[in-house]
Structures are given as structure tokens and as C-alpha cells.
Structure 1
């Protein structure tokens, strides 16, 4: 079918209706994840995804997103424009159906879009239902059509308000503050997602403008290199093992597969996977196919060219884990009817996709290595070093296992365990230093709270190979205390070998990092976060990692005392106490260390489940998180300085 025919045939008949809008306002979290910051920003993604669907179909080359002064958001594209003719079943204009009926849209009609993204495919109607007001303008058939809505209900008929030489759709909405905890959009969160979309859709231009202030930010994202540029962006502060990026862009059946990868002189891998532009953070069949293809292609090339050079009496078998060390890769597939495991679309379940990805990536990598033998040689040499490190790590891991509870032996000597054995009710506090550890042990609830004092320095997981990491005493203690093993030695089918990390064996469902509120405490906290992100990310993904928030100040007046967690709260407490009693002096104590608090104070402020404040550690964007840890904890001093300078404005308390 020609483009002209497709454009003409994209009409009300292509808009399929599956169900109504009744439940959206009653249970918004079912449709957008939550009603906090994440759900709010998903409203923008959902509207943008409609425009991206037009781009995937080949009809849209530019998308403009604007944060308006009044707090609303406008999304405009130059696609075909949502159809405005009368829908046969609904007896109303198709654009009104799209805007007011759940699961209505062209993405549910195979003739309109081969593939489409969008959160759960719920359509822009969910955004309408959760907005105080919304309007849409469609440029189509030489006219500009407009309709306005309030809380999902049309306030006007679809009207013709002007003429247009071009086509496109423009949507503006204002989130309902009766639904959302906050309605303030964050520029950085949206820009990161739009940047990602521009990488994934080579050549499309996405503009972002913040007009809420006169000096508001703006960005234009357009990448001719697509995924290759994405890899360069993620790898920006790494020393690449080879400059040329390995790319695969092939189609098998009706599944286009695009891959870009490069190796660096680091010890961690960073593989991001996408299906129809959706970040599948839990992987799935496309990731399994990629891993299998990578391992087979590299081993085939090494064997064929006699590249596995071993020492005398040394036996080495290169595994997938060895070939993933230092790897940065993007895997993007387009699937007509994706099957996702769970409502969050984070793991692809289509069985046939694994074989397709395996086949085309295997062929593509082999072709590249044959044409670039020097790069192949470097990769195999790096994999051999990784294999030797893995062998040393295996011996260290066995030693840890023999010491651990899993092996039937005792837990770490410095661990003060809790009496409860049900992980759901158990908490492990990772506490900086012996003095704070002593206070925590005395102040805790012994039934459910375990304390592990960290006496020495936690090794930097960003810069250390796994064998060196496992020789660190503090890391050994953490692994043993958690009881879930260590390492993710997966085969090409995604199966883990026996004895490796198993989340189901985790002894505590709350792992709480509790450090001092000074520079040293922040550094230890960052080292621990780096360890969990790089080596036990399943703990973060499972929602088991937390940060304790100890108070910065104790404000007292006579026998009255209160605690403040920041400078503003301190000032308010002082003001209130002076107002209540002008004649008695107000005392202020600044806590630099947890050890300065007695056990009762530590319990009351930081450990009592009824009063404490815990921050759950989550990863919103895998790409952004990987880059942050790389910048902050990697070897590039300039990258670290730049990161600190860019983020200095967010520092609330600085200890000098």
C-alpha cells in the first residue's frame, strides 16, 4: 500500500474500541503505575508515545513538548493527525473516541500501525480522565479541528477553527491535583526519556522547552547515528577497547532487530533492552536471544581463529559472563503483538523473538568480526582476563559460602541478628562504624532488627574486578549476612548456576543503609549503593534496599526536645519554641555522627518503624543510573568533577 493510500485509509474505521473510562479515576494506579511523581510523568510519555507511533509508521518526523507557564504540558507532532470523521459504532468523531474511551485508538488496528508502544496501550484517554482540563487540535484535510474536555468529558463539540496546509496533532493537558500528590513536572526526568526516544528512533527530532520561567531550559534531540550514538552517550566517560561500534540492523520475518555494542576497559556490563521503544528493565526473550548470540559468535570466532591462548596446564572455557565484562549494548526490537509479563511491561515473553534475535545477532556479529579481526582479538583477550578473574572469584565465593549460613556455619561474628526468622518482618541495618553499631545494637528491636557494623572500607565496585571485590572483608560480611549468595553467572538461556545469587533466599526484606550525615558517611553510602546497583541489582529491583534518614539537629528548650532533619525544620522548631517560651534558652546540637546519639535517641529518630523516615532506593532510568555511577565512582576525574559541578545546586547540607 502506498503512503498516500495509507494516509487516506487512516480513518474512523481504524479506531478500535475495547472498553470505557469508568475505572480510571477510581483506580488510577492500575493504569499509570502510581499517583506520585512516576505516574505524573507517565502522562507525558503516553501522549508522546502516540506521536512516536506515527513516527514508527513513517508519518512523523518532529515532536515538540512544552512545559507551559500555567503548569500544563503541550505535545505537538507533524503526523497524519487523529481521524476526525464519524466513528460508525460510537456515532461520534473518531478523535473524541480516542480522547474519551479507554483502549480506543489506531494502535489496536493492525492496518494502522504494525507496531506501537505506549504504557499498557491504554491510550491518551487515560491522560484525559486524569486531567483537570485538556484540549486537542488536529490539522487534517486542510482544516484545524478542536475539542475541549474536563476530567475526561467533552465540553464542546468538535469544531473547525481554522485552515491548515500541513497535518498533525496538538494536545494540551493540565493534571488533576485531586488525583496526583504533586503536579510539578521535572525537566530532567522528561528530557532523559525524550533523549532515549530520539536515540531509539534514528533521525526523528524531539524538542523540549520549559516556558515556566524566562530562563527555562530547552533541548533538541536528534541523532543520525541512532543506537550507535546511544552507546557513545552511555560510554562517554569510559575508555573504549575499540572505537568502532558493532552494529546489527536486520529483519527476520516481521521482527526488525537493531543492536549496537562496544567494549570498554571496565568490569561491569550495561545492556539496555527495548521493545517498541519501551524499556524492558527485566529483560525477556530478546535479551536471552542477544546473550546467546553474543556468546556463540565470540566463541565461534575465537575457536576458528585460534585466539584462546592459555598458559601451561591452564584450562579455560569462555562463558557468556566473560564476554559481557565491560560491554555496553543496546538491543531494540519491534514486535507486532508483544506479550509482557506483568502489567508494568518490563519483561518480554514472546517465545519466537528469542530465536529471531539469536539468529540475526549471531550472523551480524560474526560478519563484523570477520571484517574487523583486530577488534575481535582485543575482545577475546579481554574475555580471557575476565575468565581468569572469574576462576579466582569462584574460589573466593566458595570460601564465603563455607562461612555462610547457607553452608550451615555461623553468620559474620560482628552481626547482631534478630530473633524472627521470617524475612518479610526482618530488617538488616548496615551501620557505619563500631560506635554507631553499638548504639544501634542497644537501641534496636531485637525481634526484627539485625545490625551489621561496617568497620573497614567498602571497596569501590565500579573500579574493581569481581575477584578483588570478594576479597574485601566488608563485602564478604554483607554477602554472608544477606544469605542469598553472590553473582549472576547465567548461561545463554538466562538460567543461573546453582549457588549463585537467589533473591528468594534473602534473609531480610528491608536492608537499610545507615551512615553519618557527613562527607565520610555520604561516601560510604555511595560505595554501598554502587555495590548493590552493580552486583546485587535484584535487591533494588525487588524494593528491598532503603536509606535511613537520621536527624541533623536536636533542638531543646528546658526538658522539651525535638529533632530536625534539615535546616528549614530546625529554624521552624527554634521559632516555635521561642514563641512558646521567650525566657528559656533554645539549645541546638548538630549531629555529625550516629555515635553522638545514645541508643534511645537513635531508636526514636532513626529506627522506630512508627516514627522513622526511610527512603526506598529505586532506579527510574537504567541508562541514567549507569551513567551516574560511572561518573561518580569511575576512573575519569574530569567526568566526576563535571558531575559534581552540575549537581552542586541540589546539595542541601554540605559538611566542610
Structure 2
């Protein structure tokens, strides 16, 4: 019988704000990483600081934001209203403190919980904030969340605004490096969502005049667009839509209050539903949703009062309400798309005709593909009985995983000579070999029908015992 662990008052600890952030950084900024992925923590630190500057622009203060990243040091300077001088230390070092709690000052801001800059402060070996307003300036410096210096200037000629400098802690973000391409993509999204805003990053200017229309223009070539980009604007909502001539998958760029919701959420789900419903009603046909949305490339941005995200990194919207006197997110988006998209299609018959042709083509391909898949499965079953290209192992590739005692591996070779040498040296218990007849097919930009009709792929599919569901 195991010895009971003692549980007394000595086991209870109270952490201050910076200790908790440093002990559990993932709760505040997601994964840590070294900067090799776009969602690594060092980019979230930059975003948390930048969000405050963006909120200033949204509130009508400051049209330019300057960003510098030199080595491990990041500097963000805006020309907004500046933090109230008496609260410069508090807003970056006291939890549950910030202007975002006052809806009169920040009605539809990105950050609402007052944690962002505190997390940056706690996770940086050097953090400095400086605010200038009304001809006066105040600054404070920190190390890992601990205040090291504080200064106030009664008179200054500097322009109003806020400047934040920080160096991420390399004991938390090990061997990190900022990648320019990831920072640039983040900044492009900010200017798409805030037409008229200028962001200067290491001397390079980012600016957009047409918002989400520019986003789609930069993400899909004009030659690949089935029809010109549909750009719809409303109060607290913006949408851009087109269909690709070549890609098969759906592509969505969704945003809430300027935040890129990479995992979607209630607004993206409502948008996908609204597009299908509107198009069905416009054509008077009950088209399959998958046929309508096939190859769609689109973007949606909405502004919500006090949004609720599913994590501190704000990548998925959980809110169902727009806030104030507005209806739910779903109803609001449905009503907007139904009115605006329907009107657009009535006024632009060439776009409506191109879109319907695309839907009908997707419908034909889906039905043809269903037949091809059935034929492919039948061929594969027959092929598996006498698949001369496969040198199977004793733990058969076609066995279900739960019945295997060992994992198996399949080596795919080009030609019989290559497979022969591997077959002789392999582990016959767990290693199988499959010999291709040269390169089977370059399937890039080809229809699924052509792929499923390819004999080599059929044999390989039979060897692996895999099927793609409709």
C-alpha cells in the first residue's frame, strides 16, 4: 500500500503575477518555440504589444506605427494618445489593470483582459515602456517583470504616443530568432484590416487602401480567379470573395477586431453557412454545400463588443453575440451576406453566371468521382490479390493496427532493380517494399478523377489498404 502524501498549509502557494506567467507561459502566449513557426511565442509577444497600438489607430489616434527588430531587441512606437502618465507602471505590471475594461475608451478592441503587455514584460529580460502626452513623458524599465528604473520628464518636445522595447528571455525562448517573413505576414494582415494605417518595419512600408480586397489580391493571382473579387462593406463587417480556377479546397481568412482567427470560430462558421444559403436562394436550387464552397477563397472581418476567444492567443472566436443592441453573430452575418451578396449577384450577371458554372462543374466532378472511386476500389481489391509490385512483410500492411504487435514500414522505390536490393536487406517481419513503374503521375492541378484512374496509385492504395471518403 502506497504511503499517503502529506497535504498541509505548507503545500499552498500564492504566486505573484510575474511568477505565474513565467511558470506557465503557455497559458498566456501558447507554445514557446524558437521562431521557426509563425505561431511561436516570440511573435505572440510582438503581437500583444502591437495590438495596443492598433487599438489606438482604431480609436482614431495615430496613423503610423514604427517597428524595429534588430537581433533579439524589438521596438514598437505608435503615435496614439499615450498611456496616462500616472499609470505607465501599472498597465504593464499589475494584473487586471488597463484601459480595455472601460468600454467608453475601447469599444471594440482586440485585447480585453489586461494581460498582454504584462506577459511580454514578465517573459523579457529587458522591457521598457515610455509614454508621451500633453508635452510630458514618463518611462519605466523592468527585468523579468521586476521594476528596475522609473523616470518622469515634465517637459518634452517628443510627439505623443507610446514606445515599447523588449528582449525576450532566452532561458524561456531557447535559441530563438525572428523570421522576417512571419513578421511581414502579420503586418500585412494588420494593414489589410485597417485601411489607411501605415506600418514601417525596419524601414519597409506596409499600407493598404482596399482592405480585404487587397488581401485576396495578394493571395490569389488574377489569372487564377474565376471572377473579379467581390468586396462587401458594412457596419462592423467586411467580406471579400472569389473562387479559384485551379485549387479544390476552401480557403478562409477570418478576423475579429483586427485579430487573425487562424482557427476560425463562430463568425467563420456563420459566414460559410450564409454563403451557401444565399446562393441557394439566388439560383433557386438546393445545391450541395460542398459544391458551392469548393475552390472558394474568401476573407471576413467583424467587430464585436467584448469578444470571447477560446484562448489567450485569440485564434478562435467563441462569442455568439455581437454586443450592444445587435443580434447574434450568426444572425448578423447571415443578414448581411443575404442582402449584400444577393444584391451584388443581381447587379453583376456575368459573375453570377460564372459562379453557377463553377457550382455545376463541381457537382459533375463529385458525381463522376463517386463512380471512379467505386471502380478504383474494385480494381484495388482485385489488384491486392495478385499485386506483383508489393513484397509484403509478415506484419501485413493490410492488417488493422489494433491487431499488430509491431509497426510496419513500406519502402517505395522507382523500378524493380532498386526494390530488389532493398528486398534482400530488409527486415521481412516489419518492412515491405513496393516497386513503382517509374514516376506514376504528376498530379499537380489535375482532377481527382484522373488520379483515381491511375493504375499505379490504385496498386499503391491497395498495398496500404486506404480509401478516401467522399
Whether contact under 8 Å (1:403, 1:411) holds in the other structure is no
Q: Name structure 1 gaps, 5 residues minimum.
A: 1-18, 86-93, 210-217, 309-316, 487-498, 501-656
Deviation for aligned residue 1:196: 1.4
Structure 1, 96-105 or 256-265: larger mean CA deviation? 96-105
- 1:609 is matched with none
Whether contact under 8 Å (2:131, 2:137) holds in the other structure is yes
Deviation for aligned residue 1:442: 6.9
Q: Is 1:232 aligned to 2:232, yes or no?
A: no
Match 1:373 to one of 349, 362, 366: 349
Deviations 1:26-78 (A, max 9, x none): 2323322224212222221221122112223332321111123x631110111
CA distance 1:20–1:389, shift in 2 (3 Å):
same
Deviations 1:552-585 (A, max 9, x none): xxxxxxxxxxxxxxxxxxxxxxxxxxxxxxxxxx
Deviation for aligned residue 1:370: 1.0
Q: Is 1:198 aligned to 2:197, yes or no?
A: no
Deviation for aligned residue 1:378: 1.2
Q: Name structure 2 gaps, 5 residues minimum.
A: 1-15, 321-327
- 2:280 is matched with 299
Match 1:242 to one of 227, 230, 233: 227
CA distance 1:404–1:194, shift in 2 (3 Å):
farther
* Aligned equivalents of 1:444, 1:117: Cα separation in 2: 56
* Aligned equivalents of 1:364, 1:151: Cα separation in 2: 50
SS in 1 for 2:234: strand
Whether contact under 8 Å (2:253, 2:300) holds in the other structure is yes
- 2:58 is matched with 56
Whether contact under 8 Å (2:96, 2:113) holds in the other structure is no
Deviations 1:244-283 (A, max 9, x none): x2122224xxxx2210112332233322222233333332
Whether contact under 8 Å (1:231, 1:330) holds in the other structure is yes
SS in 1 for 2:105: coil
SS in 2 for 1:23: helix
CA distance 1:229–1:336, shift in 2 (3 Å):
same
CA distance 1:29–1:288, shift in 2 (3 Å):
closer
* Aligned equivalents of 1:34, 1:124: Cα separation in 2: 16
- 2:109 is matched with 116
Deviation for aligned residue 1:395: 1.7
- 1:361 is matched with 337
Whether contact under 8 Å (1:102, 1:126) holds in the other structure is no
Deviations 1:208-258 (A, max 9, x none): 10xxxxxxxx42111110111111111126432223x2122224xxxx221
- 2:452 is matched with 470
SS in 1 for 2:21: coil
Whether contact under 8 Å (2:28, 2:313) holds in the other structure is no
Whether contact under 8 Å (1:266, 1:325) holds in the other structure is no
Whether contact under 8 Å (1:340, 1:346) holds in the other structure is yes
* Aligned equivalents of 1:478, 1:115: Cα separation in 2: 53
Q: Is 1:79 aligned to 2:80, yes or no?
A: yes
CA distance 1:284–1:395, shift in 2 (3 Å):
farther
RCO greater where, 1 or 2, for CA within 8 Å and sep 6 or more?
2
Deviation for aligned residue 1:168: 0.9
* Aligned equivalents of 1:344, 1:481: Cα separation in 2: 43
Q: Is 1:126 aligned to 2:115, yes or no?
A: no
**Cα RMSD between the aligned structures?**
3.5
Whether contact under 8 Å (2:78, 2:161) holds in the other structure is yes
Deviation for aligned residue 1:448: 7.5
Whether contact under 8 Å (1:392, 1:467) holds in the other structure is yes
* Aligned equivalents of 2:108, 2:463: Cα separation in 1: 46
* Aligned equivalents of 2:461, 2:269: Cα separation in 1: 27
SS in 2 for 1:55: helix
- 1:265 is matched with 245
CA distance 1:112–1:467, shift in 2 (3 Å):
farther
- 2:370 is matched with 394
* Aligned equivalents of 2:196, 2:441: Cα separation in 1: 42
TM-score (norm 1): 0.59
Whether contact under 8 Å (2:230, 2:241) holds in the other structure is yes
Match 1:65 to one of 63, 67, 70: 67
Match 1:319 to one of 288, 295, 305: 288
* Aligned equivalents of 1:237, 1:424: Cα separation in 2: 53
Structure 1, 128-137 or 469-478: larger mean CA deviation? 469-478
- 1:287 is matched with 268
- 2:414 is matched with 433
Deviation for aligned residue 1:391: 0.9
- 1:512 is matched with none
* Aligned equivalents of 1:121, 1:451: Cα separation in 2: 57
Whether contact under 8 Å (1:390, 1:467) holds in the other structure is no
Whether contact under 8 Å (1:29, 1:35) holds in the other structure is no
The residue correspondences of 1:11-160 to structure 2 (distance < 5 A) are 20-32=17-29, 33-37=31-35, 38-68=40-70, 71-85=72-86, 94-102=87-95, 104-117=97-110, 122-160=115-153
Match 1:207 to one of 200, 210, 213: 200
CA distance 1:399–1:357, shift in 2 (3 Å):
farther
* Aligned equivalents of 2:451, 2:408: Cα separation in 1: 24
Count of aligned residue pairs for this structure pair:
434
- 1:185 is matched with 178
* Aligned equivalents of 2:280, 2:264: Cα separation in 1: 23
Deviation for aligned residue 1:404: 7.8
- 2:297 is matched with 328
- 1:586 is matched with none
Whether contact under 8 Å (2:98, 2:114) holds in the other structure is no
- 2:10 is matched with none
- 1:515 is matched with none
SS in 1 for 2:23: coil
SS in 2 for 1:172: strand
- 2:7 is matched with none
Whether contact under 8 Å (2:244, 2:295) holds in the other structure is yes
CA distance 1:375–1:184, shift in 2 (3 Å):
same
* Aligned equivalents of 1:450, 1:29: Cα separation in 2: 41
